[in-house]
Amino acid sequence: MSHIDFETLFKHSPNPYMVLDREFRYVSANEAYLRLTASRFEELRGRNVFEAFPHDPDNRDNQHVRQLRDSFVRVLTQRAPDVLALILYRVPKEVDGRTVVEDRYWSATHTPLFDAAGEVAYILQHTMDVTELQQLKQAVRASQEPRSTQMEANVLLRAQAVQEANRMLDADRRHLLRLFEQSPGFMAFLRGQHHVFEMANAAYLQVVGHRDITGKTVRDALPELVGQGYYELLDRVFSSGEPFVGRAMELHVQRHPGAPLEQAWVDFVYQPIRDADGTVSGIFVQGHDITEQKRAQDELRRYREHLEELVQERTHELAQSEAERQKTEAALHQAQKMEAVGKLTGGVAHDFNNLLQVISGNLQLLYRDVTGNERAQRRVQTAIGAVDRGARLASQLLAFARRQPLEPKVLHLGRLVRSMDELLRRALGESIELETVIGGGLWNTLVDPNQLENVLLNLAINARDAMEGEGKLTIEAGNAMLDDHYALLHPDVTPGQYVVLAVSDTGCGMSPEILERAFEPFFTTKTEGRGTGLGLSMVYGFVKQTGGHIKIYSEVGHGTTIRIYLPRTLQAEVSLPEIVTGPIEGGSETILVVEDDAEVRTTVVELLTELGYRVLKANDGQMALAVLQSGMPIDLVFTDVVMPGPVRSPELARQAKALFPNIQVLFTSGYTENAIVHGGRLDPGVSLLSKPYRKEDLARKLRQMFRQPPLVAPTPATSPQAKASHRVLLVEDDEAIRSSALELLDGLGHRVLAVESAEQAREMLATDHFDILFTDVSLPGQSGVDLAREAVHRAPGLKVIIASGYGMSLTPEQETGMGRAVLLPKPYDLAGIGRALAQLDGADAMAAG
């Protein structure tokens, strides 16, 4: 119950109450006291009770005054209630227009009120008017003097009994009020059919918010309950007289002025209160706030649901683990199979293409010799066509194995698609409708344009066959974002921005079984003689080698869509070199042919001679270098990539550029591996003519190179990356990578010692001096990072290059103890090594500055 509720009880009590402070000054007095003393509180407030108390002014020290003062002093000193049986009050009153004094007799109970420190702060006086009893006593004494003593005793006993009964009643009332106020459950008394708040305890105010509700109707005191059904429940209980029990009832209350409504839950009972005649006069409300309990139950329920979800997810994961293991094993098996096919293809391709080159070259020479013999020329043309098919087969195998020598260019996919419009229409035929859709704001991509054209043409021909010559082919180009969620579902995908090329047909579609094997090499659904089964596998290999992603969507009877995702590049688009067409033409320039296969060399020399060129020849790099060093003017070196002897073809090209800055170098090979191809891409500035090639291809490639400005290869004397010659220890366990890195570092003018293990590196570091340790991150028996840290500890001035194919970055913990270290991502080229060396040299310059 709030403070105002006790004031109401104090104010309207029928018994006289007043409160004094420790100096016996008036603090408060209720209406019954003021009526009985014929006083106004404004006249009493702050005045000493013995100055303001109505009494006989001529007898200030009479017995009653002394008794009253002594009682107050006993309360202060003994800190306990004190009872006075009889006090004389002389009260003035108006009679016929004049003031007379009336004697009134009281019995009084004085109760100490304590402050927070436990000291008596106030004195509460509860009085009862016993004037009539005292008058009766005096009358009996006057009429029956002999019996006066007995009568006086009886009257006194009755007065004391009444006083004790009132004291007990007052104590019970205070006890009930304390219980009401301190009850842990909320309680309130509502009076009348309008449900006026008569009393409400602190727990009730805690639920509805501390506000002034006494004397107000429920609708006025709690207006936010409109529409929540509580007014209607009270009306029903009052009219029916039947109690209502509510369990876990939700309500929304405004606990603070201006604050938003808060949600709460309560258990409560509406109990009707009846008068003596049985009429319902009010409602007693009691209950408990179960908001926190309800929230805890809801939180527990949510926690249990979450646990159930986790259990279900874990159960699902366990159920799928075996399938995922099998899928992983299948993917590993597929990767191993592709790797095996790639190695087999690489091993065979060089010799196979050399044979095709000999056959092709001699057939082209023979075609000239049988001029006029149409029958012989037809046979030669048929043989040349077979050579072309063999070359395409070898190329498709290399593409599937991701070993093509790609020449990526920055291009706009929309322009490439539009430029192929006429070619695609001829390939599709008149009965197939072709539609191209190019999205706005298309990004650029870095891709080999020639290979991409082959991919698009291959997909168009597959679609034509699936539509049996009639239908619609749609080619779309747009932007796409593959997010982390997609990458989780497709482990081969790197999240990021892509340019997507979609090819859709209205053909027969593929069943799930066929769809699962679509990318397998030599798998085909076409009839014998209509396909090799390498088309889609070639597309797959090309897309993967480019760093992209491919996805097939197909349904039997509803066609097929193949979506190719190519990584976006932020570089500007470059102009593609103009393709030389028209009649072939030769020239008079001097060409040095470097070829170890005698038959191939003889054929090439004869083809170039027919084209009018002056031809020199060498059977290996060392002999070619001797020809170059002789000073004889040479315009172009035409060299096979794979060469025997100590001078490899990249080194031959570098020294040729050093001797003749304007010289052109054209490489040729049936299989390039790592000599001039790194990361599946031709090294920058490298020109390649793949074997087998036709006379027309050779002639046009030569004229194209002679028309373009020469690319001067950086040399130790001119390269900005080769400011100083360093002693380098190269540690790489892969022989092919070690050989190419050795040539690249040697090409930059550095002195290099190459080893294949950390153990060999430690032996060299212990016996020789090196400026730079160039190590792969993964080595047999020890990581390159640990080797570098150990080497720098022994030689603090040693600089370190860490080569990694994992796209990692060095953590602060890894860099600790390695001094000056640079990370070089694989695949790296001449420019990448130069930047790494320049970064180390720049660190030296900053340290010196």
When pLDDT is cut at 50, 70 and 90, the band that residue 236 belongs to is very high
- The Cα 632–Cα 8 span in angstroms is 126
Mean pLDDT of 469-495: 85
Residue 691 has pLDDT above 80, yes or no: no
Q: pLDDT value at position 145?
A: 56
Q: pLDDT value at position 26?
A: 92
CA atoms within 13 A on the CB side of 200: 22
Q: pLDDT value at position 674?
A: 47
**Distant-in-sequence, close-in-space partners of 700: CB < 8 Å, separation ≥ 6:** 580, 584
CA atoms within 13 A on the CB side of 155: 19
When pLDDT is cut at 50, 70 and 90, the band that residue 813 belongs to is low
Q: pLDDT value at position 810?
A: 57
Q: For the ranges 104-113, 346-355, 599-608, 782-791, which has the lowest average pLDDT?
A: 346-355
Whether cis (ω within 30° of 0) applies to the bond prior to 692 is yes
Q: pLDDT value at position 565?
A: 93
List, for residues 171-188, the tens digit of each pLDDT value: 766 766 677 777 778 888
**Maximum Cα–Cα distance across the chain:** 180
- The Cα 574–Cα 175 span in angstroms is 97
Q: pLDDT value at position 450?
A: 78
Residue 741 has pLDDT above 80, yes or no: no
Highest mean pLDDT among 47-61, 90-104, 425-439: 425-439
Q: pLDDT value at position 233?
A: 92
Sheet holding 262-274, edge to edge: 196-200, 186-191, 280-289, 262-274, 244-253
List, for residues 513-536, the tens digit of each pLDDT value: 777 777 666 666 665 545 554 567
- The Cα 10–Cα 170 span in angstroms is 12
When pLDDT is cut at 50, 70 and 90, the band that residue 152 belongs to is low
Of residues 410 and 61, more confidently modeled: 410
Q: 285 and 233 in contact (C-beta within 8 Å)?
A: no
Mean pLDDT of 828-840: 74
Q: pLDDT value at position 579?
A: 54
Looking at every residue in the chain, the average pLDDT score rounds to 78
List, for residues 249-261, the tens digit of each pLDDT value: 888 988 887 788 8
Which residues on adjacent β-strands are paired with residue 687? 666
- The Cα 690–Cα 670 span in angstroms is 6
Q: pLDDT value at position 156?
A: 65
The answer to whether the predicted template modeling score (pTM) of the entire model surpasses 0.85 is no
Q: pLDDT value at position 36?
A: 77
List, for residues 323-351, the tens digit of each pLDDT value: 667 766 766 676 676 666 656 665 565 56
When pLDDT is cut at 50, 70 and 90, the band that residue 196 belongs to is very high
Q: pLDDT value at position 715?
A: 36
Residue 11 has pLDDT above 50, yes or no: yes
Of residues 791 and 167, more confidently modeled: 791
Question: Tokens 């769809």 identify what position?
Answer: 515
Which residue ranges form the domains of the chain, and what is each CATH number? Answer: 3-174 (3.30.450.20), 186-289 (3.30.450.20), 404-569 (3.30.565.10), 727-848 (3.40.50.2300)
Of residues 849 and 144, more confidently modeled: 144
- The Cα 523–Cα 334 span in angstroms is 14
Handedness of CA 675, 679, 680, 686 (dihedral sign): negative
Strands (DSSP E) contained in 555-613 are 560-569, 590-594
When pLDDT is cut at 50, 70 and 90, the band that residue 778 belongs to is confident
Query: How distant, in Å, are the alpha carbons of 98, 359, 369 from that of 694?
Result: 148, 11, 16
List, for residues 623-654, the tens digit of each pLDDT value: 888 888 877 888 999 988 877 778 888 888 88
Of 593, 576, 574, 575, the closest CA to residue 702 belongs to: 593
Q: 666 and 705 in contact (C-beta within 8 Å)?
A: yes
Q: pLDDT value at position 676?
A: 52
When pLDDT is cut at 50, 70 and 90, the band that residue 6 belongs to is low
